Amino acid sequence: PSRYGWRAAYGGIGLLGCISFVLLLLRLPAGLKGTPVDLKTWSAVARSRTVLLLLAITMLQMSGQFAVFTFMGPLLKKLTGASPDAIGMVFAIYGVCGFLGVAIATRIVDTWGPYRTSLLFTCLVLAGITGWALSAGTLAIMAGAVAIWGLGFASTNSMQQVRLVAAAPP
């Protein structure tokens, strides 16, 4: 993990991005275009209290968890004495669990509905961050809390997008 340096990490991310791009080119139908949106529609969106509330919730959720996420590496080092490899592994756990959370959310949103699914994954973020704080100093428990947090982090944003689509004016 960390022994390869940041350049290798960015190279790997870039490679995955290129592979994703090629797969999208191959799988998306030709001539796919979105519906044009006029000024009247944008005005209706800007006047929708529900849309504005959902945007505010999304902003607070994302900024709140990234305020903690920013300091995850330094805090792991300071509180647990974690090695760079251990810190890299915790970040990997966060990312893998984020992917799994989105996969789970997409499976249950049709039956649970956007609100309940969003609430579940927001509670996972809250539980993970709370577990992170309460287990400060114990690497294994902090990593477990990060796994729970990771399950919720990307899913909350995805579910907010589903809720925004449902709340958008016609």
pLDDT digits (tens, 9 = 90+) for 2-15: 677 888 889 999 99
What's the average model confidence in pLDDT over 36-54?
Answer: 89
Q: What is the pLDDT of residue 2?
A: 62
What does the pLDDT look like over 81-126, one tens digit per residue? 999 889 989 999 999 999 999 999 999 999 999 999 999 999 999 9
Helix (H, G, I), strand (E, B) or coil at 14: helix
Question: Looking at 139-143, 148-152, 153-157, which range is the least confident one?
Answer: 153-157
Longest Cα–Cα distance of the chain, Å, equals: 56
The reported pTM is: 0.78
Residue type, 115: Y
Helices (H) and strands (E) in the chain, counts: 7, 0
CA–CA dist 121, 154 (Å, integer):
9
Q: What is the pLDDT of residue 68?
A: 86
What's the average model confidence in pLDDT over 42-49?
Answer: 89
pLDDT score of 62 more than 60: yes
End-to-end CA distance of the chain: 48
pLDDT classification of 1: cutoffs 50, 70, 90 = low
Q: 55-94 as b/e, with b when 16 or more CB fall inside 10 Å?
A: eeebeebeeebeeebeebbebbeeebebeeebbbbbbebb
- Closest C-alpha among 45, 65, 67 to residue 55: 45
CA–CA dist 133, 7 (Å, integer):
31
pLDDT score of 144 more than 80: yes
